[in-house]
Amino acid sequence: MTRPLVVFDGACGFCRQWIERWREMTGDSVDYRPSSEAAADYPEIPQEEFDRAVQLIRPDRTRLSGAAAVLELTAPHSAAARVGLLLSNRLPVFAQMLESAYGLVAANRVVFSKLTKLLWGTSARRPTFAIANALFLRALALIFLIGLVITRT
Q: Mind listing the pLDDT tens digit for each residue in 53-95?
A: 999 999 999 999 999 999 999 999 999 999 999 999 999 999 9
Q: What is the pLDDT of residue 113?
A: 85
Residue-range domain boundaries for the chain: 5-125
Which whole number is the average pLDDT over 138-148? 86
pLDDT for res 74 = 95
Give the CA dihedral 12, 81, 6, 4, nearest 10 degrees. 170
**pTM, to two decimals:** 0.75
Q: Which of the two residues, 144 and 124, has the higher pLDDT score?
A: 144
Q: What is the pLDDT confidence band of residue 52, given thresholds at 50, 70 and 90? A: very high
Q: Place 41 in a pLDDT band, splitting at 50, 70 and 90.
A: very high
